Amino acid sequence: MEFEIVQNVIIEVLGVHESEVKPETSFVDDLGADSLDLFQIAMGIEEKFDIELDPDEVKKVKTVGEAVELIKNLRN
């Protein structure tokens, strides 16, 4: 469930195809996201999950799978 929601936020922000967004996908290397894109993705995730992300933790996230794990850890 978390993955699909994160995937939809990424598709909305970056305009990429669903098939490009997998757990191992790198935001920067594979999707070409810049710092503004990453900020918008983080904001979208916060809104969808009604959580607050720690900016220092967000900076460590490199892949979609890592983002999903961060969300799961915050929700537990």
CATH number at residue 56: 1.10.1200.10
pLDDT of residue 76: 76
Q: Which domain holds residue 54?
A: 2-75
Residue in 29, 30, 34, 50 annotated catalytic: 34
Q: How many domains does the chain have?
A: 1
Catalytic annotation present for 34: yes
Q: Describe the crossing of helices 35-49 and 2-14 by its angle, rounded to 10 degrees.
A: 140
Q: Report mean pLDDT in 10-residue bins for the chain, 76 residues.
A: 96 98 98 96 97 93 97 88
